[in-house]
Amino acid sequence: MKKKMYNLLYRIRKTNKDVRIDTRKRLVFFDYKNGDTMNEQKIKRLRDEFNFELQSEIRN
């Protein structure tokens, strides 16, 4: 199960450079201007299967 999660995290980090993931707190940070990130299939799967939460942040 853990291997699935880390594989998914690797694929998300590789394709989305605008997403930051904190695995200890189980948070996915994204730019509030780019709301399309939260609707991406891989991030939805991460939230559903592994109980990650979304957090928007203001970036320059």
What pTM, to 2 d.p., does this model score?
Answer: 0.82
Report residue 21 CA to chain centroid gap. Answer: 5
Token look-up 């990650």 returns 52
Confidence of residue 32 (pLDDT cuts 50, 70, 90): confident
pLDDT exceeds 80 at position 2: yes
pLDDT exceeds 80 at position 35: no
Burial of 13-46, coded b for 16+ CB within 10 Å and e otherwise, reads eeebeebebeeeeeebbbeeeeeebeebeebeeb
